Amino acid sequence: MNMCRDSLTNFLEESHPIHWHCFNGDTEEYRQCKTMFPNGKFGISPFLLMDNKYPGYRATVCEMKLEDLVLETDSPYLKPQGHHEASPELLKEIIWKLASMFDVRSEEIARVTTRNARQLYNID
């Protein structure tokens, strides 16, 4: 990831909105990305639902700001155990999990992450 981040800094303005797709770095990597590109957003994927495969992922997400998150399923590739398929329907489970982790209502997670995606992709 360092080589990728370094390359981006050579070509993009610091203010450029970056989507860190399926982010699965640690807290330090999150902080480095935010320092280099403060308008970046971090894709929270079904990794959040896969404790057995990504045990440290939830701890990292808990250290992130809700204002930095966008939701994604990466369907059909990230199928959590116990699911027959990966689909956008998984967004509900990701929202519920984030609501529990951030101790807020699921509607707040949906509202904030939708706003974040609109900002990231300049959708009015």
Q: What share of the chain is helix, strand, coil (3-state, %, to 5)?
A: 50, 5, 45
Q: Under DSSP, is residue 2 helix (H, G, I), strand (E, B) or coil?
A: helix
Q: What is the pLDDT of residue 38?
A: 96
More confident residue, 51 or 104: 104
Q: What is the pLDDT of residue 110?
A: 98
DSSP classification of residue 9: H
Q: What is the pLDDT of residue 51?
A: 81
Q: What is the pLDDT of residue 76?
A: 67
Q: For the whole model, what pTM was predicted?
A: 0.90
Give the pLDDT confidence of 57-84 residue by residue, as tens digits.
Answer: 999 999 999 999 999 987 667 777 777 7
Tokens 């509607």, residue? 107
- What are the residues whose beta carbons fall under 8 Å from the beta carbon of 46, sequence distance 6 or more? 73, 74, 78, 79, 80, 86, 90, 93, 94
∠ CA(45), CA(3), CA(1), 5° rounding?
Answer: 20
Q: What is the pLDDT of residue 97?
A: 95
CATH fold of 15-120, please?
TIM Barrel (3.20.20)
Give the model's confidence band at 1: pLDDT under 50 very low, under 70 low, under 90 confident, else very high: low
Instruction: Identify the CA nearest to 94 among candidates 118, 69, 115, 77.
Output: 69
Q: What is the pLDDT of residue 80?
A: 73
Sequence spans of domains, the chain: 15-120
Give the rounded percent of residues in the chain with a pLDDT score beyond 70: 96
Q: Backbone phi, then psi, for 96, in 5-degree steps?
A: -60, -40
Greatest mean pLDDT range, 3-7, 73-77, 119-123: 119-123
